[in-house]
Structure formats: structure tokens, C-alpha cells
């Protein structure tokens, strides 16, 4: 069971990263349940119990709005991410829900080619494993190691 939970998580994380990095953002909300929590915060805010994030969504529809805003409304210089996602640590797997944490690294490449280590951190996840084999996030809290976010964060992490 534990091996299967780990395998599903690795697949889910790989697909999630590929979706964002290949700019298939319209498919990104589909990694989440309809009622979900997606939050981008930092280790310091997380430790202090500060509830606000720089991105905060409690529904899949809010994630869709993020994507619509990026496509239709927001202005930012062309850029892309490369997610490097580490091995998940499975904390528990019971009743169809896996609780895990997974380290990640995002390199940002700007329009003119400048590359930076943009964010590193850990995903704190609760994943529902549906009967049809699909795994979706009930909760993905993106805990960034630093509270500094250079210039702007447009594309989700």
C-alpha cells in the first residue's frame, strides 16, 4: 500500500510540474478537487501561524480564475519556470487520502534569458486517491524557504 501511494504521488508531482513548465496552465486546476486549498506561503509565515498566502484559493474555480487573470488581465514580462521536484515523504496513507511532503526547486528564465533560482521549498500535500485511479489534491500548501519573492509571482508554483 505504501509503495502504491508513493508511486501515485511521484506520478502526480511529475505531471503537475510538466503541466506548469510547459505552459499548459488551463489544465493546472484539474490537479485539484473541487473543494480544495491551494496556498503559497513561506516557512517563516507557516511557522508563525500567519494564515495569509501570496496566493490563496479554496476552490478549483478560484484556480481557474488565477489562470484566466494571467491570460486575460495581468501584465508581466514573458518568463517560464523549470520545476525540479524531489522525492515525496509519505507521512500517512489511510482511507484513500495520502499525506506527504515533497521538496521542490524552481528556476525562472526571463524573456532575455536571465536564469535565477526563483523559489525552493516544500509542498505539504493531502491527496485523494479516487477509485478510478486518479489522484487529486485536497490540499497543496506551498511552503517556500524564503519570504522574498523577486519582482512578482505570476505563474503558479
Partner 1 sequence: MDHTAHTVPAGVWPEGLTRVPYWVYHDQEVAKDEQARVFEGPAWNYLCLDIDVPNPGDYRTTYMGCMPVVVARAEDGSIVAFENRCAHRGALICLDDGGNVKDFHCVYHAWRYDLRGNLKSVAFRHGVNGKGGMPDDFQMDAHGPRQPRVAVLCGLVFATLDPSAPDIEAYIGPEIVARIRRVLKKPVEIIGRFTQPLPNNWKLYMENVRDTYHASLLHLFFTTFRITRLSQGGGVLVGENGVGHASATMGAPAQDDKSYQGMRSEQDGFRLADPTLLDSEDEFKDGIQLQILSVFPGFVLQQIHNAIAVRQVLPRGVGSTDLNWTYLGFVGDTPDLRAKRLKQANLVGPAGFVSMEDGCVGGFVQRGSAASGSEMSVIEMGGSGAETQETRATEASVRGFWKAYRAHMGL
CA dist 10 and 128 (Å) reads 14
Q: Kindly tell me which residue out of 5, 28, 53, 139 binds partner 1, with binding defined by CB under 8 A.
A: 53
CA dist 83 and 24 (Å) reads 14
Distance from the Cα of residue 140 to its chain's centroid: 6
Give the nearer residue to partner 1 in terms of CB position, either 8 or 66: 66
Query: Considering the complex, what minimum distance in angstroms separates the CB of residue 56 from partner 1?
Result: 5
Q: Using CB under 8 A as the criterion, what x/- string covers residues 7-46 for binding partner 1? A: ---------------------------------xxx-xx-
Q: Kindly tell me which residue out of 21, 59, 136, 145 binds partner 1, with binding defined by CB under 8 A.
A: 59
Number of residues that bind partner 1 (CB under 8 A): 36
**Residue 64 phi, psi (nearest 5):** -60, -40
Give the nearer residue to partner 1 in terms of CB position, either 10 or 149: 149
CA dist 91 and 29 (Å) reads 24
Burial profile 23-37: b = 16 or more Cβ within 10 angstroms, e = fewer? eebeebbebbbeebb
Give the nearer residue to partner 1 in terms of CB position, either 31 or 129: 31
Residues 62-81 that bind partner 1 (CB under 8 A): 62, 64-65, 68-69, 72-77
Residues 126-155 that bind partner 1 (CB under 8 A): 147-154
Task: List 122's β-bridge partners, or say none.
Answer: 103, 143
CA dist 66 and 74 (Å) reads 10
Give the nearer residue to partner 1 in terms of CB position, either 100 or 157: 157
Query: Considering the complex, what minimum distance in angstroms separates the CB of residue 49 from partner 1?
Result: 9
Give the nearer residue to partner 1 in terms of CB position, either 8 or 60: 60
Check if the beta carbon of residue 83 is closer than 8 Å to that of residue 17: yes
Amino acid at each position: 500500500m505504501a509503495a502504491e501511494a508513493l508511486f501515485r504521488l511521484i506520478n502526480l508531482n511529475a505531471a503537475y510540474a510538466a503541466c506548469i513548465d510547459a505552459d499548459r496552465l488551463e489544465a493546472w486546476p484539474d490537479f485539484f478537487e473541487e473543494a480544495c486549498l491551494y496556498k503559497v506561503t513561506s516557512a517563516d509565515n507557516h511557522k508563525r501561524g500567519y494564515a495569509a498566502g501570496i496566493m490563496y484559493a479554496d476552490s478549483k474555480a478560484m484556480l481557474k480564475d488565477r489562470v484566466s487573470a494571467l491570460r486575460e488581465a495581468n501584465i508581466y514580462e514573458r518568463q517560464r519556470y523549470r520545476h525540479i521536484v524531489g522525492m515525496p515523504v509519505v507521512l500517512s496513507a489511510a482511507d484513500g487520502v495520502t499525506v506527504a511532503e515533497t521538496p521542490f526547486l524552481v528556476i525562472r528564465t526571463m524573456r532575455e534569458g536571465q536564469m535565477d533560482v526563483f523559489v525552493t521549498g516544500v509542498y505539504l500535500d493531502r491527496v485523494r486517491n479516487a477509485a478510478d485511479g486518479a489522484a487529486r489534491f485536497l490540499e497543496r500548501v506551498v511552503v517556500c524557504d524564503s519570504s522574498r519573492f523577486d519582482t512578482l509571482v505570476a505563474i503558479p508554483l
